[in-house]
Amino acid sequence: MRTTGPLDRVAGAHDAAVLAVARRGEPVARTGLAEALQVTPQAISKILTRLIARGLIAEIGSFSSGPGKPTTLYRIVPESRRAIGLHLTRTRLHGVVADLTGQILERHSTEITPEQPVPALIASLARTARELSGHGPGELLGVGVGMPGPVDVDEGVHLGSSSRTDAWRGASIRDLLLDELRMPVLVDHDSRAALIGESWSQPGLLDNAVLVLAEEGLGAALRLDGTIVRGAHSRAGEAGHTVVNLSGEPCPCGRRGCAQAEYLAAQRDGDPQRAAEVLATVVLNLVRLLDVDRVVLGGRSVYAHHQVTMDAIREALDQGLHAGAPVHVEVLLSTRGVDLIAAGAACEVLEHEYGLPSALVGPSPR
């Protein structure tokens, strides 16, 4: 987004809103957009002119129903921009290239040695990014990295996990990778990247949603009233360390009955049913507390037992919400599979460039 004038914020927000509507894939028309953005059709013309000049939107034809001049139709140009997304775990590095709509154009996967020191890690990330950077048309916007554990997205540093010593703690992954690649880099928490990715491809649908990610641990990301929640220290989403069983399993974090401890214990005991029930409790707690209307599930551990997991969650929601009003909560399994986080990281780069700005007035008043 440009930052010259003061009204660019208005223009930028409108541009982003039009792109969001267009991203859904269906052709868009002037009138519909005017209604969606609450501006006059004439303003939409100006906005579309800007977007067309930037190559993000193109005309695709016209549509006539009844008398009068036919409506001109426009579509997003997916191939106009690209972004690289990298999913980093302790043992693997999975990367994708995504176009402007979040569609995956190319994949690349590598094994990495666990507990790799930071310089070697940066080299691996850069190698995968370079491997992917050749594929696909359109301007390459940058590289997004999604990784487990708390991450400060503003500084691009990994804050270190709470339960163990960590070779990556405090590493300024963003700055190091930026120096290496000479390209914008964005580093964020894995589940947050995943949720941004899921909502990028279906704008508006996940305005009030949580994504629960069950990989090595149990994490979550929150989108409330349209905004991703990061929290005061960029640590929001630690659903794995909320207590669900006061007298339960001890957790490395020092407390008893953390959801993650209960979940892992059930898995260790070979009891996927109990694990699913723990997950269902976490989900129901989130729904009750945050009043989201959509829940997205992802992560290897969910994919492995998706049937029992989905059943347990649906049952818990049916029971738990029945007493109250007839609110409907949709439970979705991520359709991206193993690409979930890598694609999300790529979409986060797109969102950073072309997403809706959250605040109108610059920073908060101190």
Partner DNA sequence: ACAATAAGCCAACGCTGTTGCGTTACGTCA
Partner DNA sequence: TGACGTAACGCAACAGCGTTGGCTTATTGT
Binders of a copy of itself among 76-135, rule CB under 8 A?
none
Q: Does 365 bind DNA (CB under 7 A)?
A: no
* Residue 208, both tokens: 């009030």
We find the least distance from the C-beta atom of residue 21 to DNA, in angstroms, to be 14
| Cβ-contact 21, 33 below 8 angstroms | yes
* Binding residue (CB under 8 A) for a copy of itself from 4, 7, 64, 69: 7
Which is closer to a copy of itself, CB of 114 or CB of 357?
Answer: 357
We find the least distance from the C-beta atom of residue 61 to DNA, in angstroms, to be 10
* Residue 211, both tokens: 């994504």
The Cα 301–Cα 184 span in angstroms is: 32
Q: CA torsion sign, 285 to 289 to 293 to 298? A: negative
What residues contact residue 164 under an 8 Å CB cut-off, 6+ apart? 252
The residues with which 74 forms a beta bridge, in sequence order, are 28, 59
We find the least distance from the C-beta atom of residue 142 to DNA, in angstroms, to be 24
* Binding residue (CB under 8 A) for a copy of itself from 1, 29, 39, 338: 39
Judged by CB under 7 A, the stretch of 6-14, 20-28, 313-321, 339-347 that binds DNA is 6-14
Site mask for a copy of itself (CB under 8 A), range 264-303, x = bound = -----------------x--xxx-xxxxxx----------
Site mask for DNA (CB under 7 A), range 16-55, x = bound = -------------xxx------xxxxxx-xxx--x-----
Which is closer to a copy of itself, CB of 227 or CB of 335?
Answer: 227
Beta strand 209-214 with 294-298: parallel, antiparallel or unpaired? parallel
We find the least distance from the C-beta atom of residue 144 to DNA, in angstroms, to be 27
Residue 319, binding choice from DNA, a copy of itself, none, Cβ under 5 to 8 Å by partner class: a copy of itself
* Residue 305, both tokens: 């037992």
For residue 364, count CB atoms less than 10 angstroms from its CB and return exposed for 0-12, middle for 13-18, buried for 19 or more.
Answer: exposed
Chain centre to alpha carbon of residue 4: 29
Q: Does 4 bind a copy of itself (CB under 8 A)?
A: no
Chain centre to alpha carbon of residue 315: 27
Which is closer to a copy of itself, CB of 82 or CB of 189?
Answer: 189
We find the least distance from the C-beta atom of residue 264 to DNA, in angstroms, to be 50
User: Quick one: which H or E segment has residue 214?
Assistant: strand 209-214
We find the least distance from the C-beta atom of residue 119 to DNA, in angstroms, to be 41
Other beta carbons within 10 angstroms of residue 70's beta carbon come to 12
Over 224-236, what HEC string results? ECCEECCCCCCCC
Residues in region 63-122 near DNA by CB under 7 A: 64, 66-72
Beta strand 139-147 with 81-88: parallel, antiparallel or unpaired? parallel
User: Quick one: which H or E segment has residue 254?
Assistant: none
Site size toward a copy of itself (CB under 8 A) is 83
We find the least distance from the C-beta atom of residue 359 to a copy of itself, in angstroms, to be 7
CA 354 to each of CA 2, 163, 348: distance values in angstroms, whole numbers, following the listed order: 11, 36, 10
Residue 237, binding choice from a copy of itself, DNA, none, Cβ under 5 to 8 Å by partner class: a copy of itself
Q: Does 139 bind DNA (CB under 7 A)?
A: no
| Cβ-contact 258, 285 below 8 angstroms | no
Q: Does 269 bind DNA (CB under 7 A)?
A: no
Q: Does 29 bind a copy of itself (CB under 8 A)?
A: no
* Residues found near DNA in the complex (CB under 7 A): 4-8, 10-11, 14, 29-31, 38-43, 45-47, 50, 62, 64, 66-72
